[in-house]
Chain A
Amino acid sequence: DAKTTQPNSMESNEEEPVHLPCNHSTISGTDYIHWYRQLPSQGPEYVIHGLTSNVNNRMASLAIAEDRKSSTLILHRATLRDAAVYYCILSPNYGQNFVFGPGTRLSVLP
């Protein structure tokens, strides 16, 4: 399985944008890029996914590098509720076997 690398932790101020990076230099052509987050004492929840093009949804935006070797999850205005561990995961288009790394622990300061 292709690996991802994320910073261990990041900090943001409330109502400011947050850019969470993910490196995946060994990504294959069929790998989707998924982002999940895990709030304290909860199960992971889906944030966004993409293949090649940048993606937007109500929660976040996903910016994918042209060579697909890195991506950035963008939270446009961080709230206290966004404090969580964010996971960047690669999975082939037929795959269901998510491999979660340690993720990035995001702290949001009031």
Chain B
Amino acid sequence: DTAVSQTPKYLVTQMGNDKSIKCEQNLGHDTMYWYKQDSKKFLKIMFSYNNKELIINETVPNRFSPKSPDKAHLNLHINSLELGDSAVYFCASSPPGQGYYEQYFGPGTRLTVT
């Protein structure tokens, strides 16, 4: 019954590696997001996809590339990982329509780059 799921929950890797985080939502939502929460606990939006199309792309290095194979999935691929990429990454989704959007968040993926 998990609404928004992410895998893996924990990811430990070395600098320079390439890794992916997967996100799936079973809510039938059209819009999905990736957020980054750094060590100071600030949550910042990275990307937003609506119906598999990129809507928001905040100032994020090109090493980060979201991929949406279908409306229910938004994966985050990170190339050439750096120490500063260590953070908790949250996926979220929201329903379609105009006006107010309630966002549903996943449990997060804690990425540690050593």
Whether chains A and B associate is yes
Query: Which of A32, A38, A93, A98 is B103 in contact with, Cβ under 8 Å?
Result: A98
CB distance from B14 to the nearest CB of A (A): 25
A43 at the interface (CB under 8 A from B): yes
CB distance from B96 to the nearest CB of A (A): 11
> Are A85 and B100 touching (Cβ within 8 A)?
no
B1 at the interface (CB under 8 A from A): no
Interface size class on chain B is 20 to 34
Interface with A: B66-74, B79-87, B105-113, which one?
Answer: B105-113
> Are A97 and B48 touching (Cβ within 8 A)?
yes
> Are B41 and A85 touching (Cβ within 8 A)?
yes
- Do A44 and B105 form a contact, CB below 8 Å, given A93-B98, A96-B56? yes
* Closest residue on chain A to residue B108 by CB atoms: A43
B64 at the interface (CB under 8 A from A): no
Q: Which residues of B contact A42 (CB under 8 A)?
A: 107-108
> Are B55 and A96 touching (Cβ within 8 A)?
yes
> Are B42 and A96 touching (Cβ within 8 A)?
no
CB distance from B26 to the nearest CB of A (A): 16
CB distance from A76 to the nearest CB of B (A): 21
Q: Using a Cβ–Cβ cut-off of 8 Å, how many residues does chain A contribute to the interface with B?
A: 23
Q: C-beta contact mask, A86-105 vs B, less than 8 Å → 1, else 0?
A: 01000101111111111000
Q: Which residues of A contact B35 (CB under 8 A)?
A: 100
16 intermolecular pairs with C-beta atoms under 8 Å apart:
A43-B106, A43-B108, A44-B43, A44-B105, A49-B100, A85-B41, A93-B98, A93-B100, A94-B99, A95-B101, A96-B48, A96-B94, A96-B103, A98-B103, A100-B42, A100-B43
B residues at A contact (CB < 8 Å): 4, 31, 33, 35, 41-45, 48, 55-56, 90, 92, 94, 98-108
A residues at B contact (CB < 8 Å): 32, 36, 38, 41-46, 49, 85, 87, 91, 93-102
